[in-house]
Structure 1
Amino acid sequence: MFAAAALAALALGATQAAAHGGVLSYSINGQTYEGFKAYNSPTGQTSIQREWDTYNPLTDPTDSFLSCNTNGANLGSGQLSATVPAGSEVVAYWNQWPHTIGPVMVYMANCNGACTSATTSALEWFKIDEAGLISGDLPTGLWGQGELVADNSSWTTTIPASLAPGEYFIRHELLAIHTSDQPQFYPECAQLIITGSGTAQPSGSYLVKFPGAYSMSDPGVGIDVYSQPGVTNYTIPGPAVWQG
């Protein structure tokens, strides 16, 4: 009975992983950092990534876990931070991502101290990268997620070179809008220690909180792409990209 239940759980996990997903690892300055392993206990895991428990999406833009996924907790003694010079590239490797319709967004947040003790829903986040509808129309065009799939389910982002040093989160998010009934948010967070001589910090309208940055009334969130053939404009949700 126990063996059968265990096999059923593994099969369910495999099915969920095939349908949805998350960031499995990062490459930063030639070093690979393994991500948190979903569906496993955080006990004994070591990662720069915060805990995320399921490959399934968040479907409510006001979900309390929208900042860093369910449940977004630090890993205690296993929680690491990657030391990264400002201006470096961060490559996030997703699972074999199955969706090609929707934007890719990357945010950061200053922890104003140690990220390990930060409450991610209370932080102010700023967007450093995004890609929405690149060409074509809403139902058949090339999207940011299509580019991610074509690049071996990876996404490369450059941290602004002028960003002031300190401890930050980096938050990768896919918003899958291939269904007509509800958006699917896939946020993942990792902890970074930014070094360098930069002094820049975003302010004002560049800063948002999660939840709070999105609503179902946003044109890029509550959208049925299949009802709009020939439409070539898409509004990516959230603030403008901060270039530093």
Structure 2
Amino acid sequence: MMILSAAFVALASAITAVSAHGGVLSYKIGNTNYNGFVPYNTPTGQSSIQREWDSYNPITDPTNAQLSCNIDGANLGTGQLSATVAAGTSVTAYWNQWPHTIGPVMVYMANCEGSCTSANTASLNWFKIEQSGLISGDLPTGTWAMGQLVANNNSWTTSIPSQLAPGNYFIRHELLAIHTANQPQFYPECAQLIVTGSGTATPGSSYLVKLPGAYSMSDPNVDIDIYDMQGVTNYTIPGPAVWTP
């Protein structure tokens, strides 16, 4: 009985830990649904447009070598897929039952300059295509983009820039939860796209960043205690400016 009880407690603790955080479970691109990678399971036999991510836990160090596409961010070998999408198409990322409502939502892309499957995501040049932070109110009690994500069935919809030049790209959704004082929680997720269309636009160098490299703990909006900021109604989202061709 004691062994069974201990096992039950361990299982309950694991479930609680998993439910505390999360990641993207699936995508809808245009009218097509794509399954995401299933964490806590072997990648063997899985196929997805998403890169591997191993747990619902956040990355808490903004200089972590695997910040670009989560831990461990590996391609799935023969199971690694890419979604073909026309520039201008909407992309919806569906998260698990998301518990956090304080923090910004950011969406990045990167040109793979060849095959995304063989790309080193930490060496790519990433550019932001959308971001949303504090919507209304003050930092500790206001409405944040992450709160809107939760209210919208734990989903976030953005669009591939309509003038983007065709090619092989990553799309990267990232939540930055800042509900814990001075302890940022990054939740990045990457999926592979083949963008089509007649666009010719590409972002200039001022919009491009490395991940890691775009954030540091010296950034006051990364290393932040929102509970000491009652009445403060502005928040600058970290990272580069949004590229709008």
Fold conserved (TM > 0.5)? yes
Q: Is 1:91 the equivalent of 2:104?
A: no
Q: Which residue of 2 aligns with 1:205?
A: 206
Name the counterpart of 1:123. Answer: 124
Which residue of structure 1 lines up, in the alignment, with residue 71 of structure 2? 70
**Aligned counterparts, 1:159-178, within 5 A:** 159-178=160-179
> Is the CA contact (8 Å cut-off) linking 1:13 and 1:39 kept in structure 2?
no
C-alpha separation between the residues in 2 aligned to 1:94 and 1:224? 25
Contact 1:87/1:162 (8 A) holds in 2 = yes
SS at match of 1:229: coil
Name the amino acid aligned to 1:14.
I
SS of equivalent residue, structure 2 residue 117:
helix
Q: Which runs of 5+ in 1 are unaligned?
A: none
Shift of 1:16: 2.5
Pairwise CA distance, 1:243: 1.2
For these two proteins, the number of residue pairs brought into alignment is 244
Q: Deviations over 1:173-214 (max 9, x none)?
A: 000000003100000000000000000000211000011000
1:52 equivalent in structure 2: 53
Q: Which residue of 2 aligns with 1:14?
A: 15
Q: Is 1:28 equivalent to 2:38 in the alignment?
A: no
CA distance in 1, matches of 2:45, 2:235: 43
SS at the partner of 2:16? helix
Equivalent position amino acid for 1:16 in 2: A
Q: CA deviation at 1:17?
A: 2.6
Q: What is the Cα-based RMSD across aligned positions, in Å? A: 1.7
Aligned to 1:16, the other structure's residue is in SS state: helix
Deviation at 1:218? 1.1
TM-score, length of structure 2 as denominator length: 0.96
Could you give the per-residue CA deviations for residues 71-119 of structure 1, whole angstroms, max 9, x where no partner exists? 0000000000000000000000000100000000000000000100000
Distance in 2, Cα, partners of 1:8 & 1:157: 41
- Counterpart amino acid of residue 129 in structure 2: I
